[in-house]
C-alpha cells in the first residue's frame, strides 16, 4: 500500500505513521484560510452553488446532441460535441472580453462629454480645494483631482459595459431557451439497447 494515498501507514514496528503530505496539505489549507480570514463554507459553498446548475445543462444538451444520431455515428457525434463545447468556451470568452472592452471605450467617450458640464467643474474645484487644504500645492491638487475624476469615469464606464454584456447574454440565453422547443424529440426507452462508448 502506498503511503502517498493513505492517511497513515504502519512502519516496521507496527506503530502508525502520519503521512507528511497530509500534514502539509492541512497546514497549508489552514494557513490559507487564516490569511483570507474565511472558513471552508465561505470558499466551498459559492463554488458548489455556482456549479450545481451545470449538471442540469450538460445532460439535456448531450441527450439533444445524440437524438436522431445513428448507432454507427455516436463516436463522431461525441467528438464533434466535445470540439464545439471547447471552441464555444474559447470563442465565447474572447467575444465577451472584447465586448466588455469595446463597450467600456464607448461609455468612456459618452461620459467624457459630461466633463464640460458645470457640475463636473464644480466637483473638480471642490476636490482641488480639499486636497490643497490637506497639504498639496495648487498644481498637484488640481492634477490629483482630475486624476481621481478620470478614475471615477473609468469605473462607471466599466460598470456600464458589464451591464450591457449581461443584457446581451440574458437575451441570448432567452433565445436559446425558446429555440430548445425546435429540437428533435428524444424518446427515452425507444431502443432496447443502451449504447455506451
The predicted-structure confidence for 73-89, as pLDDT tens digits, reads as follows: 888 988 998 999 899 98
For 35-56, b/e burial (b = at least 16 CB within 10 A) is eeeeeeeeeeeeeeeeeeeeee
Does the residue 117 lie in any domain? yes
Where is pLDDT greater, at 9 or 180?
Answer: 180
Does the residue 135 lie in any domain? yes
Does the residue 161 lie in any domain? yes
How far apart are alpha carbons 140 and 12 in whole angstroms? 74
Our count of domains for the chain comes to 1
Does the residue 84 lie in any domain? no
Range of the domain at 175: 94-185
pLDDT in tens, 38-82: 777 777 777 788 788 877 878 888 888 888 888 888 889 889 989
Tell if the pTM clears 0.85, that is, is over it: no
In the block, residue with C-alpha cell 503511503: 3
Helix (H) / strand (E) containing 10: strand 8-10
How far apart are alpha carbons 145 and 155 in whole angstroms? 15
pLDDT of 189 reads 60
What percentage of the chain has pLDDT greater than the value 90?
26
Amino acid at each position: 500500500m502506498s503511503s502517498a494515498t493513505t492517511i497513515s501507514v504502519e512502519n516496521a514496528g507496527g506503530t502508525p505513521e502520519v503521512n507528511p503530505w497530509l500534514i502539509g496539505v492541512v497546514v497549508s489549507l489552514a494557513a490559507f484560510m487564516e490569511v483570507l480570514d474565511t472558513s471552508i463554507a465561505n470558499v466551498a459553498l459559492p463554488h458548489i452553488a455556482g456549479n450545481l446548475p451545470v449538471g442540469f445543462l450538460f445532460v439535456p444538451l448531450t441527450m439533444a446532441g445524440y437524438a436522431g444520431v445513428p448507432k454507427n455515428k455516436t463516436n463522431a457525434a461525441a467528438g464533434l460535441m466535445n470540439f464545439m463545447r471547447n471552441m464555444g468556451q474559447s470563442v465565447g470568452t474572447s467575444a465577451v472580453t472584447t465586448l466588455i472592452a469595446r463597450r467600456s471605450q464607448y461609455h468612456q467617450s459618452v461620459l467624457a462629454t459630461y466633463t464640460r458640464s458645470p457640475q463636473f467643474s464644480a466637483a473638480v474645484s471642490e476636490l482641488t480645494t480639499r486636497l490643497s487644504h490637506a497639504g498639496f500645492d495648487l498644481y498637484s491638487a488640481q492634477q490629483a483631482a482630475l486624476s481621481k475624476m478620470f478614475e471615477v469615469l473609468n469605473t462607471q464606464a466599466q460598470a456600464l459595459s458589464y451591464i450591457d454584456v449581461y443584457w446581451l447574454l440574458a437575451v441570448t440565453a432567452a433565445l436559446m431557451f425558446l429555440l430548445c422547443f425546435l429540437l428533435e424529440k428524444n424518446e427515452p426507452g425507444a431502443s432496447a439497447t443502451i449504447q455506451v462508448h
